[in-house]
Chains A and B, each alone.
Chain A
Amino acid sequence: MNRLCAWLLLAASVGAAQEARSIVEEAQRRTRTQSQRYEGTLEVIGSKGKIAVKRWRYERLGSHGSSKAVLRFTAPPEVKGVALLVHNHPDRASDQWMWTPALQRDRRIALQDRSTRFFGTDFSFEDLEERDVDQFDYRLAGEETVDGALSWKIEAEPKKTRASQYTRSLIWIRKDNYAWVQMEGYRGGRLIRRVRYLDLELVQGIWTARRLEVTDFTRNSRTVLRVDKLEYNVKLSPEEFTLQALRRES
Chain B
Amino acid sequence: MRLARLIGWPYARKHVLRTCLTVAGIALGVAVFVAMHAANRAVLGGFERTVDRIAGAAQLQVTAGGFGFPEEVLERVQAVPEVRVAVPVIEAVVDTGLAGQGSLLILGVDMTGDRSLRQYDLESGEEAIIDDPLVFLAQPDSLIVTREFAERNRLEVGHRIPLMTMEGPKQFVVRGIMRPGGFGKAFGGNLAVMDIYAAQKMLGRGRRFDRIDVAVREGVPVERCQAALRAALGPGFEVEPPEARGAHFESMLRGYTFTVNISSLFALFIGMFIIYNSFQIAVTERRVEIGILRALGATQGQIRGLFLVESALLGATGAGLGVILGGAMAQLSAAYIGGLLEDVYGVAQHVEGAELGAPLIASSAALGVLASVLAAWIPSRAAARVDPVQALQKGKYQVLSVGENRARRRAAAASLAAALICLAAGRSAEAFYAGYLLAVLTAILLAPTLSLWLSKLLRPLLRWLRPVEGTLAADSLIHAPRRTSATVAALMLSLAMVIGFAGMAGAIYDSVTQWMDQVLNPDLFVNASGSISRRNFTFPASLAHEIERMEGVDQVQAVRHARVIFGGVPVSVVAADVEKLASKVRRIVIQGDLDEMYRLTAQGRGVIVSDNFADLRGVRLGDTIALPSPSGLVRLPVVGITRDYTDQQGSVLVDRSVYRRWWQEDSADVLRIYLKPGYSPERVRQRILEQFAARQRLFVLDNAEVRREILRLTDQWFGMTYNQIAVAVLVAVLGIVNTLTVSITDRRRELGVLQSVGGLRQQVRHTVWMEAVGIGLIGLVLGLALGAVNLYYTVEMVHRVAGLRIDYQYPWGVAALLVPGMLLVALASALWPAEKAVRGRLVEALEYE
A100 touches B140 (CB 8 A): yes
The closest CB in chain A to the CB of B72 belongs to: A108
Which of chain B's residues have a CB closer than 8 A to the CB of A119? 132-134
B197 touches A100 (CB 8 A): yes
Q: Which chain A residues (100-139) contact chain B, with CB distance < 8 Å?
A: 100-103, 105, 107-113, 116, 119-120
Verify if B569 is at the interface (C-beta below 8 Å from A): no
Q: Which chain B residues (6-61) contact chain A, with CB distance < 8 Å?
A: none
Verify if B393 is at the interface (C-beta below 8 Å from A): no
The segment from A44-52, A197-205, A240-248 found at the interface with B is: A44-52
* Given A50-B127, A102-B140, A110-B74: A116 and B134 interface contact (C-beta under 8 Å): no
B137 touches A82 (CB 8 A): yes
How distant is the Cα of A54 from the Cα of B132 in the complex, in angstroms?
11
A112 touches B140 (CB 8 A): no
B140 touches A109 (CB 8 A): no
A79 touches B78 (CB 8 A): no
Verify if B135 is at the interface (C-beta below 8 Å from A): yes
Query: In the complex, how many angstroms separate the beta carbon of A78 from the nearest chain B beta carbon?
Result: 5
Most buried by A among B84, B112, B195: B112
How distant is the Cα of A101 from the Cα of B140 in the complex, in angstroms?
10
Verify if A73 is at the interface (C-beta below 8 Å from B): yes
A112 touches B85 (CB 8 A): yes
Of A54, A100, A110, the contact of B78 (CB 8 Å cutoff): A110
Of A44, A46, A112, the contact of B113 (CB 8 Å cutoff): A112
B133 touches A120 (CB 8 A): yes
Verify if B93 is at the interface (C-beta below 8 Å from A): no
Q: Which chain B residues (94-138) contact chain A, with CB distance < 8 Å?
A: 110, 112-113, 115-116, 127-128, 131-135, 137-138
* Given A50-B127, A120-B128: A78 and B116 interface contact (C-beta under 8 Å): no
How distant is the Cα of A113 from the Cα of B86 in the complex, in angstroms?
9
Verify if B616 is at the interface (C-beta below 8 Å from A): no
B135 touches A112 (CB 8 A): no
Query: In the complex, how many angstroms separate the beta carbon of B167 from the nearest chain A beta carbon?
Result: 12
How distant is the Cα of A159 from the Cα of B782 in the complex, in angstroms?
85
Which of chain B's residues have a CB closer than 8 A to the CB of A52? 127-128, 131-132
How distant is the Cα of A119 from the Cα of B111 in the complex, in angstroms?
10
Query: In the complex, how many angstroms separate the beta carbon of A164 from the nearest chain B beta carbon?
Result: 14
How distant is the Cα of A112 from the Cα of B83 in the complex, in angstroms?
9
Which of chain B's residues have a CB closer than 8 A to the CB of A102? 138-140
Of B112, B133, B138, B198, the contact of A78 (CB 8 Å cutoff): B138
Query: In the complex, how many angstroms separate the beta carbon of A48 from the nearest chain B beta carbon?
Result: 9
How distant is the Cα of A195 from the Cα of B128 in the complex, in angstroms?
23
Query: In the complex, how many angstroms separate the beta carbon of A126 from the nearest chain B beta carbon?
Result: 13
* Given A52-B127, A111-B78, A112-B78: A103 and B133 interface contact (C-beta under 8 Å): no
Q: Which chain B residues (199-220) contact chain A, with CB distance < 8 Å?
A: 201
Which of chain B's residues have a CB closer than 8 A to the CB of A17? none
Query: In the complex, how many angstroms separate the beta carbon of A249 from the nearest chain B beta carbon?
Result: 16
Number of interface residues of A (CB under 8 A): 26
Of A46, A101, A116, the contact of B112 (CB 8 Å cutoff): A116
B113 touches A110 (CB 8 A): yes
B113 touches A109 (CB 8 A): yes
How distant is the Cα of A110 from the Cα of B131 in the complex, in angstroms?
20
B134 touches A79 (CB 8 A): yes
Query: In the complex, how many angstroms separate the beta carbon of B651 from the nearest chain A beta carbon?
Result: 34
Q: Which chain A residues (57-100) contact chain B, with CB distance < 8 Å?
A: 73, 78-79, 81-82, 98, 100
Query: In the complex, how many angstroms separate the beta carbon of B110 from the nearest chain A beta carbon?
Result: 7
Type the 1/0 row for B82-93, where 1 means its CB is closer than 8 Å to any CB of A.
011110000000
How distant is the Cα of A98 from the Cα of B196 in the complex, in angstroms?
14
B201 touches A112 (CB 8 A): no
B197 touches A103 (CB 8 A): yes
A103 touches B132 (CB 8 A): no
The closest CB in chain B to the CB of A50 belongs to: B127
Q: Which chain B residues (127-164) contact chain A, with CB distance < 8 Å?
A: 127-128, 131-135, 137-140
The closest CB in chain B to the CB of A46 belongs to: B131
Which of chain A's residues have a CB closer than 8 A to the CB of B131? 44, 46, 52, 120
Of B115, B127, B138, the contact of A79 (CB 8 Å cutoff): B138
* Given A100-B138, A103-B201: A108 and B133 interface contact (C-beta under 8 Å): no
How distant is the Cα of A46 from the Cα of B127 in the complex, in angstroms?
10
The closest CB in chain B to the CB of A221 belongs to: B131
Which of chain B's residues have a CB closer than 8 A to the CB of A110? 74-75, 78, 86, 113
Which of chain A's residues have a CB closer than 8 A to the CB of B140? 100, 102-103
Type the 1/0 row for B60-85, where 1 means its CB is closer than 8 Å to any CB of A.
00000000000000110010000111
* Given A105-B197, A110-B86: A82 and B78 interface contact (C-beta under 8 Å): no
B110 touches A107 (CB 8 A): yes
Which of chain A's residues have a CB closer than 8 A to the CB of B113? 109-110, 112-113, 116
The closest CB in chain B to the CB of A108 belongs to: B75
Which of chain B's residues have a CB closer than 8 A to the CB of A79? 134-135, 138
Query: In the complex, how many angstroms separate the beta carbon of A167 from the nearest chain B beta carbon?
Result: 13
A112 touches B84 (CB 8 A): yes
The closest CB in chain B to the CB of A80 belongs to: B138
Query: In the complex, how many angstroms separate the beta carbon of A168 from the nearest chain B beta carbon?
Result: 18
Which of chain B's residues have a CB closer than 8 A to the CB of A103? 140, 195, 197-198, 201
Which of chain A's residues have a CB closer than 8 A to the CB of B75? 108, 110
Type the 1/0 row for B774-790, where 1 means its CB is closer than 8 Å to any CB of A.
00000000000000000
How distant is the Cα of A101 from the Cα of B201 in the complex, in angstroms?
14
Query: In the complex, how many angstroms separate the beta carbon of B127 from the nearest chain A beta carbon?
Result: 6
How distant is the Cα of A245 from the Cα of B197 in the complex, in angstroms?
20
Of B85, B110, B112, B134, the contact of A73 (CB 8 Å cutoff): B134
The closest CB in chain A to the CB of B198 belongs to: A103
Q: Which chain A residues (11-66) contact chain B, with CB distance < 8 Å?
A: 44, 46, 50, 52, 54
Of A100, A108, A113, the contact of B137 (CB 8 Å cutoff): A100
Which of chain A's residues have a CB closer than 8 A to the CB of B195? 103
The closest CB in chain B to the CB of A73 belongs to: B134
How distant is the Cα of A112 from the Cα of B139 in the complex, in angstroms?
24
* Given A52-B128, A78-B139, A102-B138: A109 and B112 interface contact (C-beta under 8 Å): yes
Which of chain B's residues have a CB closer than 8 A to the CB of A120? 128, 131-135
Of A78, A101, A116, the contact of B135 (CB 8 Å cutoff): A78
Query: In the complex, how many angstroms separate the beta carbon of A119 from the nearest chain B beta carbon?
Result: 4
Which of chain A's residues have a CB closer than 8 A to the CB of B86? 110, 112
Query: In the complex, how many angstroms separate the beta carbon of A190 from the nearest chain B beta carbon?
Result: 16
How distant is the Cα of A190 from the Cα of B138 in the complex, in angstroms?
34
Which of chain B's residues have a CB closer than 8 A to the CB of A116? 112-113, 115-116
Q: Which chain A residues (172-211) contact chain B, with CB distance < 8 Å?
A: none
Type the 1/0 row for B623-640, where 1 means its CB is closer than 8 Å to any CB of A.
000000000000000000
The closest CB in chain B to the CB of A118 belongs to: B134
How distant is the Cα of A100 from the Cα of B133 in the complex, in angstroms?
12
A82 touches B132 (CB 8 A): no
Type the 1/0 row for B221-236, where 1 means its CB is closer than 8 Å to any CB of A.
0000000000000000
How distant is the Cα of A111 from the Cα of B84 in the complex, in angstroms?
10
How distant is the Cα of A30 from the Cα of B84 in the complex, in angstroms?
37
B134 touches A113 (CB 8 A): no
How distant is the Cα of A174 from the Cα of B509 in the complex, in angstroms?
86
Which of chain B's residues have a CB closer than 8 A to the CB of A44? 131-132
Which of chain A's residues have a CB closer than 8 A to the CB of B201? 103, 105
Which of chain A's residues have a CB closer than 8 A to the CB of B115? 116
30 A-B Cβ contacts within 8 A? Answer: A44-B132, A52-B127, A52-B132, A54-B134, A78-B135, A78-B138, A78-B139, A79-B134, A82-B134, A82-B137, A98-B112, A98-B137, A100-B140, A102-B140, A103-B140, A103-B195, A107-B112, A107-B197, A108-B75, A109-B113, A110-B74, A110-B75, A110-B86, A111-B78, A112-B83, A112-B85, A112-B113, A113-B112, A119-B132, A120-B134
Binding site for A on B (CB under 8 A): 74-75, 78, 83-86, 110, 112-113, 115-116, 127-128, 131-135, 137-140, 195, 197-198, 201
Nearest 9 interchain pairs by C-beta: A120-B132, A119-B134, A113-B113, A120-B131, A79-B138, A105-B197, A82-B138, A110-B78, A103-B140
Supply 5 further A-B pairs (C-beta < 8 A) apart from A110-B78, A112-B113.
Answer: A50-B127, A103-B198, A103-B201, A107-B112, A112-B83
